[in-house]
A and B are shown apart, each in its own frame.
Chain A
Amino acid sequence: MDHESPLYHDLWGISWLDFNLSTVAMTIISSIIVFIICVLASRKLQMKPTGFQNFMEWIVDFVKGIIGDTMDWRTGKVFLPLGLTLMAYIFVSNILGVITMGVYDHELWWKSPTSDAGLTLTLSTMVIVLTHFYGIKIRGVKAYGKTFVEPVPFLFPLKVVEEIANTLTLGLRLFGNIFAGEILLSLIAKLAFSFGAISIVGAIIPMIAWQGFSLFIGAIQAFIFTMLTMVYMSHKVSSDH
């Protein structure tokens, strides 16, 4: 029952270009799922929304609320697609591993892509880089540079550390939550097969409970990631913070 990752080393002979094939596959799968769901939801848009469109509009309003809470709506408007995509993508990724786990030939293929630290750190790095990009774009180089030496210049090293810490915490928080959830799920699954039929029956209840909790965690983490993205963004693009 030891699961290994299907690693693929040195693509095209490049020594640092390694792949975890399951993460790659799950990344693409969850992207496709998110794309299909969102495009289906916004295909037949009506003035009087019904059903699915209502749900999507609720999500849009929800993310709008997150952005509106952290910054001025006029500057925050451009981040709405980013926030929505982050939210949808992370939520779908989180629950993919809760629904089931696929092991093939002792290699873990089906899992949450967000239970891979590399993936979450990529996301968080991308977000932090975007905050710096928009900070420069919206406020100008001078005002952007000034944020590093305010309120007093000797805080500059701390500000740099803060950026790195933000990146790490943003990525590792998501990774830790989802990875821990998956570990417990696979532990329960392992337990179920350890002692025969009795343990299978006995494991169902904790399995259901933990899956429910993981769904909740997945939704919460998607929300937190989006929220923190917008908070970091507002630090860079708003002048009153």
Chain B
Amino acid sequence: MQSYASFLVIGADVGGLQVGNMLVQLVSFLILLALLKKYAWGPLMNKMEERENHISNEIDIAEKNRTDAEKASREASAELKQTRQEAQSIIEDARLAGQKQEQQIIEAARVAAESIKKSAKEDIEKEKENAIKALQDQVATLSVQIATKVIEKEINAQDQEKLISEYIKELGEER
């Protein structure tokens, strides 16, 4: 019975309420709290806060960079579009100018050809007239010569007399 009882009674002290214990406990806990706050929790919390700020900073910067990049890309694409439009308009202008020049050249050539044709025609006409005139002159001269020769051969003094008188008579009648 005795051994059974001693088996159950551990004899571990519940502790009681020794005032000294309590004071030691209170003081040591408060000292621990102060020391840990100064040497462990303080630095740790500061570091965590610092990291939090750092991260939020980094996020802000990244956000800003992204916005900048987007803006730059938008600008670049707008510029590219504008440049393309300009190039298009330059090509269009060049094409129009080319067409115009072509028209002008053709027109000028046509005018030149026309004028050359005209002057050539005039020349031909003139030459023709000249030729005709020359021919007429020659024919007249020739006919006179022929006539002279015929007359020289056939006319005699009698006839000549008669012709002259007739001529004079005619003149007189006319008056």
B43→A45 contact, CB < 8 A: yes
A233 to B35, CA, bound (A): 22
Chain A residues lying within 8 Å of B42, measured Cβ to Cβ, are 81
Closest CB-CB distance, B20 to chain A, in whole Å? Answer: 4
A60→B41 contact, CB < 8 A: yes
B32→A34 contact, CB < 8 A: yes
Interface residues of B in 16-41 (CB under 8 A from A): 16-22, 24-26, 28-29, 31-33, 35-37, 39-41
Q: Which residue of B lies closest to A3 (CB)?
A: B11
Interface size of A by Cβ–Cβ distance < 8 Å? 58
The contact string, 1 if C-beta is below 8 Å from chain B, for chain A 1-13, is 1111101100100
Closest CB-CB distance, B172 to chain A, in whole Å? Answer: 152
- Segment of B45-53, B92-100, B146-154 in the binding face: B45-53
Closest CB-CB distance, B165 to chain A, in whole Å? Answer: 155
Closest CB-CB distance, A63 to chain B, in whole Å? Answer: 9
> Given A42-B44, A122-B25 in contact, is the A1-B15 Cβ separation under 8 Å?
no
> Given A35-B36, A38-B36, A60-B48 in contact, is the A28-B28 Cβ separation under 8 Å?
yes
B40→A23 contact, CB < 8 A: no
B40→A38 contact, CB < 8 A: yes
> Given A41-B40, A42-B43 in contact, is the A179-B14 Cβ separation under 8 Å?
yes
A18→B12 contact, CB < 8 A: no
Closest CB-CB distance, A160 to chain B, in whole Å? Answer: 21
A222 to B5, CA, bound (A): 34
A3→B36 contact, CB < 8 A: no
> Given A57-B44, A81-B33, A117-B17 in contact, is the A2-B28 Cβ separation under 8 Å?
no
Chain B residues lying within 8 Å of A18, measured Cβ to Cβ, are 16, 18-21
Closest CB-CB distance, A89 to chain B, in whole Å? Answer: 6
B2 within 8 A of A: no
A218 to B122, CA, bound (A): 132
Interface size of B by Cβ–Cβ distance < 8 Å? 39
B161 within 8 A of A: no
Q: Which residue of A lies closest to B17 (CB)?
A: A118
> Given A3-B11, A186-B10, A186-B12 in contact, is the A81-B41 Cβ separation under 8 Å?
yes
A39 within 8 A of B: yes
A164 within 8 A of B: no
Chain A residues lying within 8 Å of B32, measured Cβ to Cβ, are 31, 34-35, 85, 89
> Given A24-B24, A31-B32 in contact, is the A4-B11 Cβ separation under 8 Å?
yes
Chain B residues lying within 8 Å of A4, measured Cβ to Cβ, are 11, 13
Chain A residues lying within 8 Å of B44, measured Cβ to Cβ, are 41-42, 45, 53, 56-57, 60
A42→B20 contact, CB < 8 A: no
> Contact partner of B15 among A53, A117, A190, CB < 8 A?
A117
Chain B residues proximal to chain A, CB less than 8 Å: 6-7, 9-22, 24-26, 28-29, 31-33, 35-37, 39-45, 47-48, 50-51, 54
A-B contacts, 7 listed (Cβ < 8 Å): A2-B9, A20-B16, A20-B20, A23-B18, A116-B14, A119-B21, A122-B25
| 8 further A-B pairs in the complex, CB-CB below 8 A; given A88-B36, A115-B15, A179-B12 | A20-B21, A23-B15, A31-B28, A38-B39, A56-B40, A57-B44, A126-B26, A175-B15
